[in-house]
Amino acid sequence: MTTTPFDPAGLLPAGRVITDSGRLASFAHDEAAGAPFGLPSAVVQPRDTAEVAAVVAYCAERGVPVVARGAGTGLSGGANAVDGCVVVSFAAMDHILRIDPDERLAVVQPGVVNDWLRAACADKGLWYPPDPASAPWSTIGGNVATNAGGVCCVKYGVTRDYVLGLEAVTGRGEVVRLGRQTAKSSAGFELAGLLVGSEGTLGLVTEITLRLRGERAQEHTVVGYFDDLPSAGRAVAHVVASGVVPSALELVDRYCLRAVDEWKNMGLTDGGNVLLLARCDAPGAAGVEEADTVLACFEAAGAAWSARSGDPAEADALFAARRLVYPALERQGMVLSEDICVPRTQVPEMLARLERTAERHDVHIAGLAHAGDGNLHPMLVVPRGDERELARGREVFEEVVDQAIELGGTVTGEHGVGLLKMRGLTRELSPAVLDLHRGIKQVWDPAGILNPGKVFAA
């Protein structure tokens, strides 16, 4: 690839092309701790698909890398700039184009914030389930790029499960419409699903058609405190074996609880060392039965304290506390966040291995997990600017990734590969499968300009 200077004059109105180096820096990376990034030569803020296509075509001709960017809340470095690239920010493409209650679908631009969409759907008695912790800030385009998950995904699936159709701009600058607006289709290859989770390496998504659900039934919350991780792990295994599929099953360990307490003084650590938060939402009496079953599972695993929460406000406060874990830990230093996912029956074993790994390396690994679907977010806090500790943390997590793969797991449950999981991906996927990735990339982006150097090596 030959990189020639980028002169965007005339491509978009001047106000929507940023080349000021001071401002460029704020578009250089996402929230992945310690992932490398370069400096873009320009940031463009298109308002429609035609502008996106014009930018990509211009860059394809000149061999200029193009990095798509939503809200920059990613945790893998997928939106990190490559030196000299053009960052396409979707902040100005933030319209909800349609919410159709009868077809139960929404059509949105990629810059729509997840929570805005959820609120707009709720106004019409509809529900868009994927609820990443970043939902107040992250965009649907970013969620599509990483195939984002969230708390309710244990029962309701991830972003890909809700994408019916996409409009996208390929690396040639061509606009393509993929997928469907119907309930089902067997017409050709599932290219919309292929783009979901492709992290901007195959195309830039410019419009998204999403499947919606009807309004959610009432949720019943079950809270359990446990003395240690093994007993909390047993509780998770009991719930899995019970046949109940909760609409949330979250684990928060003592390091996480303490970090939130030190910040917000919520008294979370008073209850015990490990908190399990479950929700059940089967309609009517069935939901209450489900909650009772989960409570019995907690008790059978030796919960220090457990109860069905009768107070929705209290239950919401506990889930809000769970969302505060990451920012609370960030107050202590740079947070390395893992995203392994193991088969759900392996959660107790993976928790045990995490404890042994932490001991062996003499570090604290904070434990936060979507325990019900096996997606664990172990976190390491390292002093900001301490490159040696950062490197050591990364090595600890490479071990953790190997353990997850050994248990039949995957290197990323919902954050995406970006830059941080590239090494892990080469251990999860065979060389032949990685070759298929490269071949498919070549088809969509023959000039190799779309988010180069991410996910897999060219």
Residues 207-266 that bind a copy of itself (CB under 8 A): 214-215, 217, 237, 240-241, 243, 245
Binding mask 313-352 for a copy of itself (x = CB under 8 A): --------------------------x-xxxxx-------
Nearest approach, Cβ of residue 147 and a copy of itself (Å)? 4
Instruction: Report the site for a copy of itself in 93-112 (rule: CB under 8 A).
Output: 101-103
3-state secondary structure of 36: coil
Instruction: Report the site for a copy of itself in 375-404 (rule: CB under 8 A).
Output: 375
Q: Choose the stretch contacting a copy of itself; rule: CB under 8 A; options: 14-22, 87-95, 351-359, 410-418.
A: 410-418
The C-alpha atoms of residue 400 and residue 298 are separated, in whole angstroms, by 27
Q: Distance between the two ends of the chain, CA-based, in angstroms?
A: 12
Bridge-partner residues for 336, per DSSP? 380
Burial class, 259, CB count within 10 angstroms (exposed 0-12 / middle 13-18 / buried 19+): buried
Of 69, 118, 160, 279, the residue at the interface with a copy of itself (CB under 8 A) is 160
The C-alpha atoms of residue 296 and residue 239 are separated, in whole angstroms, by 9
- The DSSP-derived string for 65-95 is -EEEESSS--SSSTTPPPTTPEEEE-TT---
421, amino acid identity: K
Of 284, 311, 313, 388, the residue at the interface with a copy of itself (CB under 8 A) is 284
Instruction: Report the site for a copy of itself in 171-200 (rule: CB under 8 A).
Output: 174-178, 180-191, 193-194, 196-198
Nearest approach, Cβ of residue 131 and a copy of itself (Å)? 13
Characterise 8 by phi-psi region: left (phi > 0), alpha (psi -120 to 50), beta (else).
Answer: alpha
Residue placing its CB nearer to a copy of itself in the complex, 28 or 249: 249
| By the rule CB under 8 A, 149 interacts with a copy of itself | yes
Here the tokens at position 23 are 């401002």
How many residues at the interface with a copy of itself, by CB under 8 A? 88
Nearest approach, Cβ of residue 443 and a copy of itself (Å)? 3
Instruction: Using the structure block, give the residue that is written with the tokens 């490197």.
Output: 391
Residue placing its CB nearer to a copy of itself in the complex, 253 or 428: 428
Residue placing its CB nearer to a copy of itself in the complex, 344 or 353: 344
The C-alpha atoms of residue 209 and residue 108 are separated, in whole angstroms, by 7
Residues 6+ apart with CB under 8 A from 55: 8, 11, 12, 44, 46, 66, 86, 88
Of 33, 44, 204, 425, the residue at the interface with a copy of itself (CB under 8 A) is 425
